[in-house]
Structure formats: structure tokens, C-alpha cells
Amino acid sequence: MTPSSPEVRNRPSTAPEERQFVLTFGCPDSTGIVAKLSSFLAERGGWITEAGYFTDPDSNWFFTRQAIRAESIDTTIEQLREEFAPLAEEFGPRAKWSFTDTAQVKKAVLLVSKEGHCLHDLLGRVAENDYPMEVVAVVGNHENLRYIAENHNVPFFHVPFPKDAVGKRKAFDQVAEIVNGYDPDAIVLARFMQILPPDLCEMWAGRVLNIHHSFLPSFMGARPYHQAYSRGVKLIGATCHYATGDLDDGPIIEQDVIRVTHKDTPSEMQRLGRDAEKQVLARGLRFHLEDRVLVYGNRTVVFD
Amino acid sequence: MTPSSPEVRNRPSTAPEERQFVLTFGCPDSTGIVAKLSSFLAERGGWITEAGYFTDPDSNWFFTRQAIRAESIDTTIEQLREEFAPLAEEFGPRAKWSFTDTAQVKKAVLLVSKEGHCLHDLLGRVAENDYPMEVVAVVGNHENLRYIAENHNVPFFHVPFPKDAVGKRKAFDQVAEIVNGYDPDAIVLARFMQILPPDLCEMWAGRVLNIHHSFLPSFMGARPYHQAYSRGVKLIGATCHYATGDLDDGPIIEQDVIRVTHKDTPSEMQRLGRDAEKQVLARGLRFHLEDRVLVYGNRTVVFD
Amino acid sequence: MTPSSPEVRNRPSTAPEERQFVLTFGCPDSTGIVAKLSSFLAERGGWITEAGYFTDPDSNWFFTRQAIRAESIDTTIEQLREEFAPLAEEFGPRAKWSFTDTAQVKKAVLLVSKEGHCLHDLLGRVAENDYPMEVVAVVGNHENLRYIAENHNVPFFHVPFPKDAVGKRKAFDQVAEIVNGYDPDAIVLARFMQILPPDLCEMWAGRVLNIHHSFLPSFMGARPYHQAYSRGVKLIGATCHYATGDLDDGPIIEQDVIRVTHKDTPSEMQRLGRDAEKQVLARGLRFHLEDRVLVYGNRTVVFD
Amino acid sequence: MTPSSPEVRNRPSTAPEERQFVLTFGCPDSTGIVAKLSSFLAERGGWITEAGYFTDPDSNWFFTRQAIRAESIDTTIEQLREEFAPLAEEFGPRAKWSFTDTAQVKKAVLLVSKEGHCLHDLLGRVAENDYPMEVVAVVGNHENLRYIAENHNVPFFHVPFPKDAVGKRKAFDQVAEIVNGYDPDAIVLARFMQILPPDLCEMWAGRVLNIHHSFLPSFMGARPYHQAYSRGVKLIGATCHYATGDLDDGPIIEQDVIRVTHKDTPSEMQRLGRDAEKQVLARGLRFHLEDRVLVYGNRTVVFD
């Protein structure tokens, strides 16, 4: 694997003035949370550049995401976390939070099969310095997309998937070993076409994103474009969601649709749909990488 | 029912230069159909202003819709039909066709319940001379939308729907009698909220349009916005389709979606969704009224 | 003007549990503003149901909008304003703020000409209890839309507009007198087709909304659909903006587009565009009525 | 330049059953054109799989595009052209037509500068066998995108553009020589950032496509995203058009928009806009390559 050109990048560079500390926080709602959180930041001189708030009326759960200009706070992310921990405890044992530093680039492993459009798209975005991640590895159950990964200087691992259950399970174990070796922030099923076993969904909960080629919950399962064609819909779609043990039923992050007509055959729909898939995956994954997605039950808050 | 103003119209006027004869035609595909049809029109001096063609690759069925400037043909629509009949026979007994004259305004009966947004919208369009139909009657299972119909000088019939099966059936018979008295070209379930019995669907096949407040096939049946909320989708939709014996499963004419976020409660979705419902119904019904929709199996060709 | 039916409403009713106090606030940015504002609300038990924040990087101006459940605060809106005033002063003389109570329904005067689609749409929304305003008057420079207003129990004023400058000015003075008699929260140019003189724009600054039938800044001025047709664009649009002395150049609140093709003539574009106009005006005006729009220079923050 | 993998393709393969002969035709409108054209095809057993018709009401010009399954006609494209020529002459000297064979893959030269997103996107589509063209060369005025071209086995030519007029002219002459050496069907300004001189526009008339990063005619010229930001628009767009001597004013093929908010800075708009640029260019260029675009005056018919 030799770089085809010194200019190929697979890692974004963050300009210092854009570097941010990002807080996500969730706890049972009560009066005064915002005041306490903002006082914490204000006391440290934190310059909030973006803030989102939401309370789920059903569960009465409060969610927030706040982005602070890193330059404005004279401390490290580790120290911030230490100082924030006691405050978080005031909101009870169920409070969940994270503090991240955008200078620490998120790592992703992409799982692919034979179709390369999402892989081309994501690696192209990274190469253009337009996407907040480093692709640390690509795993494919076929060899044919190796060239894309290698052209972008990303290691490609070929793990063949036999048809039998035992062989398939072994293949998944091999995939898991590769993935875990990188400890990635995102594991992306970029049209992987293999159903992730529940234990892997569990192990990687909140880190595995799938792109499904339909507007879920319509057309779950196999061959959604053929299903769409049979039903005669006038729009086809794509859905980016967290993978869970329930096939195509995890929390939805992003969706979009494309208009079709009676003239569009299933293969024409596949072609048109690829554009929706690329876009929806790119948007949904970005939300995830930027800590904009907070999951509650089977739903997501997306602070965009 | 007194007109509240002489200016209220419920009937579009067609300028003579815009008057058209519209041919729709379907038969098993073979070479030369277009040539024969266009020769028929050319021989009569027919000036084609719009033409759509489609062959369904599965059933190998050919469909066309052609609009001819009425001025260019020195004949009546009745005569045209007579002359066309022998040509149509050449294409076999399964060929289906119609020839309509846009000067003969299509008649619609609207069935409503308590929500009036679609009724306001459709009658507003007609009043603005912006829609190719005359609303000949509104039937409601509540009294509360009477005022809208009457403000537009349209007769309103109140048919209460009891909860018991026998009473409901009687109510449907009463609705059927009213509807059939008008022999309408379109029977529009404008958020009617009652499930049409199969025999009425059958009797009015190809003339009953429903607006369902979801992006079908997602969220069929009751309370689709609540279903959408529970599933956490990021887009909600509306679907205009022909009503058949299979609930929410008839041929789809038109669909659209609206973006929602985690902030939108079911009632907020209802509010937002009303805009999609109005638009999708208005577009789908227009396609129907302009003879742009040809049904095959559970799918539609829409020559827009 | 007799109500055509007791059911016609022109005024939304707010359920007590939905009643909100809405704070909008803007001042030069500095650290700790959010903390101070949220402490103010927290001290009074204010339950924040929605909060938006934004700092304009060019002017370094901070904006926020916060919605508080009215039930959660044991005080009146007047008292809240009194108590908030001293806090606001701490942020300097340029700070701007407002505190409104959604139980006090906003009043609108609609100015119309001959085309009634926006009038039908807005009054239909109010009648369906789906829109946060009361239409207190409609002013038309023609008689032909009187029937719509009167069907909704809204007073209609006919002010003819002569072609000469002096006559036109007098007509505008008459309009101004009518409008000012109602002291409305919104003055809506609902396809009014007359250019508002600069002094009226000035007098009503921040309260006059126009719907322009193009995607501004494309096709300013007269006959935008004809301009769009000539240029051969593939999308047409509509823009809702605050009217200022610069024609079609005021701060934009909302925009949208609709796809067109080579088949669409200018009059077809007009027909299609009406749907965009209705929707964009309805959305933009709602943002205004809900105090979601904050103007800075020629731009707007819209907290949706 | 060594292929990085044998699987990299830069040329689509057409399955025999999908091969088509495509006729485009335009002439002054008269009765019977469709009949004559379809008779011509029917006599040869031509199986029409797609047909579009349009008459421009202003110029009274008739346009059509017809796709015929190649298998259904027992002749070559050259012979078809020969046989069609006498028929075409019947429609007068101004009639324009072309007959193409989709088995003869269209050739494109891409002109680029520093931003590679469109290049990544188009070459990715070709590599995925999803796009009807072969990229025969990439010309860049910087070196930094060479790696993309070479990773796809496409020759890259670096032509530096000096700032002075004489040097610039020489650079353009060099570009012209390279381009003309390939006799391409499409010359694509894929964010080329240099204004093509009128003589080159003239020489390549109907073959040069530009992607402009705004919703034309808004924000012509330089830095459209900065213009959009200043004007405070709520949607940004992209436009694919034929380049002519009038900067950003050529016939529009395709456009689209993306929603933005007050939060989006010019650089955020650039990032978001890239997605619109990629899509609009990919769609517009496909229409061109599939002979779906017919130009008349400054407008286009697009038979999609």
C-alpha cells in the first residue's frame, strides 16, 4: 500500500480558531439545569458558539449540546471533564454526559460489500478536508473495493463471508477483531449487506451506523427498491440509523427521499437511490461524529 | 343557502384557446401504435399540445395520453369518439381508451369529517378559478364544516355515522345515494376518517381518491402521526391514492414529505402534515381530473 | 356582515397548558449572558420548553429566544417585564428585548389586491384553529375579494388605488389610517401588488411582511414569473420578507422553491407558484407571530 | 501512471439488452410530424422505449427525443442516419436532428482547479459503472488534484494559469489544444474557476457545461456563497448550464437548492453547497450525455 500521491489525505486538519470543546448532557428535567450548566462554563470564560436544548415531554428527559470555543477556556479537555464530573453528579445517577475536543479527530471503520458509491463518497469528502473523521480501516466481504481504500491510503481487510451459519459467524468474529483493534468512534455499515449479529450490535451500541436504502419503516429487509417498485410509490428514500438487534429498526438519525415516476424500473431506482444513500449517510454520520446525536429509547435528538 | 357574494364561483371557466380534447389509451404493446394514433390525429388536423407515452416492461402494456387543441379539430368530442372506436378495436379487445373535452368540467363530491383544511384548500382553489372541477356536493358526518361548503355555495349534506355496524352501513347507503345522484367524476375522501366498505370501493372504482396522512406504505391505518412519532422518523408524509377494498393499499397517485425534528410532538406533526395533505391531495386530484392517471394493477402511470 | 355560521372562527383559542411566555433578547456578546438569563428564569421557577441561541460572528451580537410554560411562573407578563428590565440594563443601552404572552393573540391586517389564494389560505388556517393570529381587517384595492373576508366575519375595506401619484398617495394614507386604527402586530402584503411608500415602511418597520413571487434576489420587481420563464430556470420560488424602503430587498424570513420544466408557461408557473407563495407566507408569518424572527441589518435570525 | 488495481474502470459497459438508438429532432411545428417520425421507426420495427415531445409556444418550434431498443432494428446507426436524412429534409432546412448509439460511449474532458469534490464524485460514478461516459482527460490549473485522476487511470494535464492576460490566453490555448485532441462530447468545467474566453465558448458551443455555485440568476460572478450570506437568503443553490460568452448566463440545464439558516457562515455554506454542486452537475451532465437536452435560444428542453 503506497500512497499514490503525497496529497492524498485521510484525516482532516482543524484550524486552531475552529477547535471546540463539545458538551453533551442528558438527565431528568428540572428547573435550573441550564442556569447551572451555563454558570459552569461562564466561570471558566467559556465562549459558547452553539447551544441546543430539548426536553422530551414523554420521558421528561432533558438534553443539551453545547459547543465552546476551545481558545476561550484555559484548560485541557481532561481537566474540564474532571471539573465537570462533580456538577454532573448533582443531577442524579442517571445523568449522562460527554466532553469532547474536536482536535481529537474521530476514527471510523467502514464495512463494505460490492457497491462502492458510499465508500467513494466518504473517502472523497475526507480527502477534500471536508469531513471530521479519519478512516482507519475498510473491511470488505469482497475484494473489489480494495482499490478505493488503497487509493486513499486506507488499509483494506478482505473477510470473505461464507453462506453457512458457522462460517458466517467466524467471519463476523474476524471482523470484530479487526474493528476492535482500532477502537473506532464509528463503525459504518456502508452498504455492507450482511446482518450484524445482536451481540456485535450490543458490543458496539451507539457506534454502529447503517444506511438502509429505503425510507424506513417502509420496505425493511431485503431488496427495498424492488419492494418500492412493486408498491408503486412516488418517492424512494434512504435512512441512516443506529444498528440494533432489531433489523432496520434502530434509532433513526437522518432520512431523505428522491422523486421517482412510473418510468423508473427497480434498477433505475437503485441508481437514483444511490444519491440519497450517499447524502443521508454523509449527513447522519457527520451528526454522529460531531456529537450531535443523543439517543433516547428508539428515538434520537439531533442538534443540527 | 344564499350566495354570500356574487363573486363566489365554484366552477372554472375555460378560455376557448385552452380547450383541449384529451385521449388516454392503453393496450398490449406492439410496434407501430404511436404511428397509427398520431396518423389518426394528423388526418383530422389535430394539433397535439402534449403527449406522454409509456410501456410497462413487466406487463408489456402500452399507455399514452395526448392532448389536442380543440380548435384545431373541426368536430365534436362525440364524433371523435365514434371515429376512434374502430381504430381502437384494431388493438384488440383489451384496449382501453377515453376521449374527453376539457370544456366539460369534471364534477366532484367531497366527503369530510371534522377537519376542514382540505375542504378550505380545494374550495379556495376552485373559487380562485385555479382548479379544473366543480364541487357539486359536500357530505360530512359532522355538521361543523357546513359553513365552508355553504360559503362557497355548495350543498352540504350531513350524514351522521353511528358507531354500530348496522347504523354505519345505513349511513354509507345514504352517502352512496347522495353521491350517485350527482354521478361525479371524482369522489374525494378529504380526511373523511371512515373506512369505505368494499362494495362502494368497487362501485366507484377508479373514481374514489383518498388522502392518507402518511408516506405509505409506512403507517397505514389509524393515527399515522402518532405512529410516526413513536418510530422517530425525520420526515412525515402524505399519500393520495385510489381507494380500494384493501385499506390504504390502493394505487398511489402522488406523495410528498415534510421534514420534522425531535422537537415535533404528534400534534405538531399533525399541524405540519396538514400542509402536505393539502398539497398532495390537490396535486393528485388534479392529475385525476385532467385524465393524467392510468392505473395498471396496483400502480399508476401519471403523465404530468 | 353577518356570520354565515356560528362555527366560523377568526381567532385561535389557546389551551391553558400550552400558554407560554416568550422572551426574545439581543445584545453585544460576552461571556455569561446565558447564565444570567437562565438564572433569572430559574429563580422564578420558569420551565423552559424551548430555547434558541445565536451569536452573529460579524457583528458579535448575541440573540436568544426562550419559551417558558406560563403555568410554571406565578406572575403576570407585565410583572415579568418589570422584573426583567433591570437585568436587561446590565447588558448595556443597546440591548433589545421583548416578553410576550401567547394568551394575548396577535392581530393582523391583510392587504390584498385581486388574487385571493393567500387570503383563502390564511383565513382557512385561522378558521381551522391552526394559526396564532386574529385577522382584524382586510384592506383591498379591489372589491372582488370582499366575499372571502366576509365569509370569515372579517371587516373588509375597499380602498381604490388610482394610477396617478397624488391619488395613490391619498389611497395609501387611507390604508394607513385603517391599519393604524387596529394597531396590528402584523401588516401582511398578501399579494398586494402596490409598492408601499418608504414612510409607511418606516412607520411599520418590523411589522410589514411581504410575499414576493420569486426566489429573491432573483427576479425582483414586476412579473417575476415572466422573468423566470425568460431566463429558463428549472426552479421557481417565493420569498417572505420584511418590507423596507428598498423594494424586494428587505430582510428575508423564509423562502422555498418548486420544480418547473420547459413545459411550464408563465401562466403555468403562476399557478404552480401560488402553492409556494401560500406556504412560504404562512410559514414566515407564523415565525413572525411567534416572535421567532430577530432582525439584524438586512438579515434575520429565525429560531424555528 | 499505473492502474492501482485492475478493477478500476473509467468506462461504462452497456448490457446488449439496454443498448439504444436515440433520436433527437427539432423543426418548426406543423401537424403530422409525430405521425411521420413514428411511421419511419415503425416501418423498421423500431421498439420505442421512451419518447418525449414538446412544442415551444413562443417560437412554435417542435422538439422530440425518442429512444429505440437497438435490438429491435436490424441496422447500424450509420445506416439509420442515412435513411433518416431524406425524411428530415421534408421538414425544411432548419430542422436539426441527431441519431446516436448508446453503445458508443460518450467522451468527456474535465477542467478543474483546486477543489476536487466534483472530480471525486464524477470519477466515482464512472468507477461504479453508474454513469454513461468515459473521462478521457482531466486538465487542472493546479497540480493538487492530479492524484484523483491518476487513481482512476485518467491522464492529468497541468496547465498553470498566470495572472496576466497574455499568459492566461496562452494557457487557454494550451487547454484548447489538449481538449481538441480528444474531440470530446462534453467539456466539463468542474469548478474550474477560470472564465472561458468567448472564442472557446463559441468553438465548443453546446458541449461545454459549467457548474455554478449559486441558484442562477442570483449571485452571478465571484464568491456566490459570500453574496448569498450577505443577502441573508434561506436557501442556497447550484446551477448546471451551458457556458456561453455571457458569463453565468448560458442555457440552464439543471438546478437545485439546499436549506441554510442564520447559523451558516459563508464557509459552512460552501461545505453544504458542495453537495448541491455535485448532484446538480452529475444530473445535468447525465442529461447532456444521454442526449436529453435540446437548446433553443437561452432555454433548454430537458426530456427526463
Contacts of D among chains (3+ CB pairs under 8 A): A, B, C
* ipTM topping 0.90: yes
**Residue D2 pLDDT:** 38
In a domain, A241, yes or no: yes
**B101, B127, B142: which is the final residue of a domain?**
B101
My answer on whether A111 and A257 are in the same domain is: yes
**Residue D1 pLDDT:** 33
My answer on whether A119 and A167 are in the same domain is: yes
C-alpha cell at C1: 356582515
Q: Do A263 and D50 touch (CB under 8 A)?
A: yes
Contact of C127 with B116, CB cutoff 8 Å: yes
Q: For D194-232, how does the pLDDT look when each residue is reduced to its tens digit (9 = 90+)?
A: 999 999 999 999 999 999 999 999 999 899 999 999 999
Give the pLDDT mean for B215-236.
Answer: 94
In a domain, A1, yes or no: no
Chain A residues with CB-CB distance to D128 below 8 A: 115-117, 120, 274
Closest CA to C8 of C109, C134, C102, C140: C134
In a domain, B14, yes or no: no
My answer on whether B95 and B61 are in the same domain is: yes
Put simply, whether D49 touches B (Cβ < 8 Å) is: yes
Chain D residues with CB-CB distance to C256 below 8 A: 235
In this model, does residue D149 exceed pLDDT 70? yes
My answer on whether C82 and C138 are in the same domain is: no
Q: Regarding beta strands C96-101 and C156-158, do their DSSP bridges make them parallel or antiparallel, or are they unpaired?
A: unpaired
Closest CA to B269 of B225, B221, B218, B223: B225
Give the pLDDT mean for C149-158.
Answer: 97
Q: Which residues pair with D157 in a beta bridge?
A: D139
Q: Do B7 and C147 touch (CB under 8 A)?
A: yes
My answer on whether C228 and C171 are in the same domain is: yes
Give the pLDDT mean for A267-291.
Answer: 97
In a domain, B15, yes or no: no
Contact of A138 with A119, CB cutoff 8 Å: yes
Tell me whether residue C9 is exposed, middle or buried, using C-beta atoms within 10 angstroms of its C-beta: 0 to 12, 13 to 18, 19 or more: middle
Q: Do B54 and A251 touch (CB under 8 A)?
A: no
**Residue C209 pLDDT:** 98
Q: Which of B230-244, C1-15, C95-109 has the lowest mean pLDDT?
A: C1-15
pLDDT > 90 in chain C, percent: 83
Put simply, whether C220 touches D (Cβ < 8 Å) is: no
Q: How far is A138 from chain C (nearest CA, A)?
A: 39
My answer on whether D212 and D231 are in the same domain is: yes
My answer on whether A125 and A44 are in the same domain is: no
- On average, the pLDDT of chain D sits at 93
My answer on whether D139 and D164 are in the same domain is: yes
Give DSSP secondary structure letters for chain B: ---S-TT---S----GGG-EEEEEEEEE--TTHHHHHHHHHHHTT--EEEEEEEEETTTTEEEEEEEEEGGGS-S-HHHHHHHHHHHHHTT-TT-EEEEEETTS-EEEEEEE-S--HHHHHHHHHHHTT-SSEEEEEEEESSSTTHHHHHHTT--EEE----SSHHHHHHHHHHHHHHHHHH--SEEEESS--SPPPHHHHHHTTTTEEEEESSSTTTT-SS-HHHHHHHHT-SEEEEEEEE--SSTT-SPEEEEEEEE--TT--HHHHHHHHHHHHHHHHHHHHHHHHTT-EEEETTEEEE--
Identify the CATH number of the domain in which residue B203 sits.
3.40.50.170
Greater confidence (D98 vs B42) lies with D98
C-alpha cell at B108: 366532484
Can you say how many angstroms the Cα of residue C199 is from the centroid of all Cα atoms in its chain?
Answer: 19
**Residue B248 pLDDT:** 86
What's chain C's Rg over C-alpha atoms?
A: 21
Q: Do B130 and C117 touch (CB under 8 A)?
A: yes
In this model, does residue B14 exceed pLDDT 90? no
Identify the CATH number of the domain in which residue A81 sits.
3.30.70.260
Give the pLDDT mean for A84-109.
Answer: 96
Closest CA to C130 of B121, B150, B236, A53: B121
In a domain, C7, yes or no: no
My answer on whether C175 and C245 are in the same domain is: yes
Q: How far is CA A301 from CA A34, A280, B56, in A?
A: 17, 16, 43
**B101, B120, B151: which is the final residue of a domain?**
B101
* Interface test mutation site (partner A, options C17, C29, C34, max chain A beta carbons within 10 A): C34
Number of structural domains, chain D?
Answer: 2
In this model, does residue C258 exceed pLDDT 90? yes
Give DSSP secondary structure letters for chain A: ---S-TT---S----GGG-EEEEEEEEE--TTHHHHHHHHHHHTT--EEEEEEEEETTTTEEEEEEEEEGGGS-S-HHHHHHHHHHHHHTT-TT-EEEEEETTS-EEEEEEE-S--HHHHHHHHHHHTT-SSEEEEEEEESSSTTHHHHHHTT--EEE----SSHHHHHHHHHHHHHHHHHH--SEEEESS--SPPPHHHHHHTTTTEEEEESSSTTTT-SS-HHHHHHHHT-SEEEEEEEE--SSTT-SPEEEEEEEE--TT--HHHHHHHHHHHHHHHHHHHHHHHHTT-EEEETTEEEE--
* Interface test mutation site (partner B, options C49, C125, C152, C257, max chain B beta carbons within 10 A): C125
- On average, the pLDDT of chain B sits at 93
**Residue D16 pLDDT:** 67
Q: For D236-269, how does the pLDDT look when each residue is reduced to its tens digit (9 = 90+)?
A: 999 999 999 888 889 999 999 999 999 999 999 9
**Cα–Cα distance, B23 to B28 (Å, whole number):** 17
Note down the domain range covering B258.
106-302
My answer on whether B65 and B114 are in the same domain is: no
**C76, C101, C126: which is the final residue of a domain?**
C101
What residues of A act catalytically? 248
In this model, does residue B128 exceed pLDDT 60? yes
For C212, the 3-state DSSP assignment is strand
Give DSSP secondary structure letters for chain D: ---S-TT---S----GGG-EEEEEEEEE--TTHHHHHHHHHHHTT--EEEEEEEEETTTTEEEEEEEEEGGGS-S-HHHHHHHHHHHHHTT-TT-EEEEEETTS-EEEEEEE-S--HHHHHHHHHHHTT-SSEEEEEEEESSSTTHHHHHHTT--EEE----SSHHHHHHHHHHHHHHHHHH--SEEEESS--SPPPHHHHHHTTTTEEEEESSSTTTT-SS-HHHHHHHHT-SEEEEEEEE--SSTT-SPEEEEEEEE--TT--HHHHHHHHHHHHHHHHHHHHHHHHTT-EEEETTEEEE--
Q: Of the candidates D31, D46, D72, which has its C-beta nearest B45's C-beta?
A: D31
Angle at A227 (CA atoms; ends A222, A229), nearest 5 degrees: 140
Q: Do A4 and D147 touch (CB under 8 A)?
A: yes
In a domain, B10, yes or no: no
Catalytic residue check, C248: yes
Q: Which of C161-165, D13-17, D59-63 has the lowest mean pLDDT?
A: D13-17
My answer on whether C142 and C128 are in the same domain is: yes
- On average, the pLDDT of chain A sits at 93
In a domain, A126, yes or no: yes
Q: Which residues pair with C186 in a beta bridge?
A: C108
My answer on whether A270 and A126 are in the same domain is: yes
In a domain, B13, yes or no: no
